[in-house]
Amino acid sequence: MKNLIIYENSHFYIEKEKSEIPWIKIFSKEPYRELGDMPKALRLELWEIYYIVEEEMKKYYKPHKINMASFANMLPRVHIHVMARYKEDSYFPNPMWGEKLRESNLELPKEELFYKNLFHALSNKS
C-alpha cells in the first residue's frame, strides 16, 4: 500500500509515515543523492517547506520537541523526516529508530485537520 501524499508541487512531495507520533517525510521528486547535488533554488525551497511543516506541527500538536533527520542510506534520494516528539512517546528521548523504552498511548488531535492546515499553509507560501 502506498503512503499517503499530503502535499505535492512540481519539485517536492510530502508523505505520512506510519507511526505513533506525527511523522512526515519531505521528498525531492528528482533523485538527488545529496543536498549539495540540488540546485540552490531547490535547497532554499526545501528549507522553506521544512520551516512551514515545523511551524504547523508545533502549532497543531504542541510537542515537546521537533526532530528532523536525513539519512537516505536505504533510499538514496534527498528526503527529510520531520517528527513531533513527546516525553511520553515509546522511544523518547531515543530516536524513533532506537530502542523502544516503554509502551505509550498518546492522545493526539486528529491528523486529518493537521494535513488540511499543512496543505493550506504550503499552498499559500510566497
Which one is the CATH code of 5-123: 3.30.2420.10, 3.40.50.11720, 1.10.3720.10, 3.30.428.10?
3.30.428.10
- pLDDT at residue 71 in the model: 77
Domains of the chain: which residue ranges?
Answer: 5-123
Q: For residue range 39-83, list pLDDT tens digits in order.
A: 999 999 999 999 999 999 999 999 999 999 987 666 668 899 999
- pLDDT at residue 126 in the model: 58
Burial of 117 (0-12, 13-18, 19+ CB in 10 A): middle
Model confidence at 1, pLDDT cuts 50, 70, 90, reads low
Sorted by sequence, the CB contacts under 8 Å of residue 118 that are 6+ apart come out as 6, 7, 14, 52, 53, 56
Q: Over range 83-90, report the average pLDDT.
A: 97
Q: Mean pLDDT of all residues in the chain?
A: 93
- pLDDT at residue 2 in the model: 67
Q: Write down the pTM of the prediction.
A: 0.92
List Cα–Cα distances, 105 to 9, 56, 61, 99, in angstroms: 34, 22, 15, 17
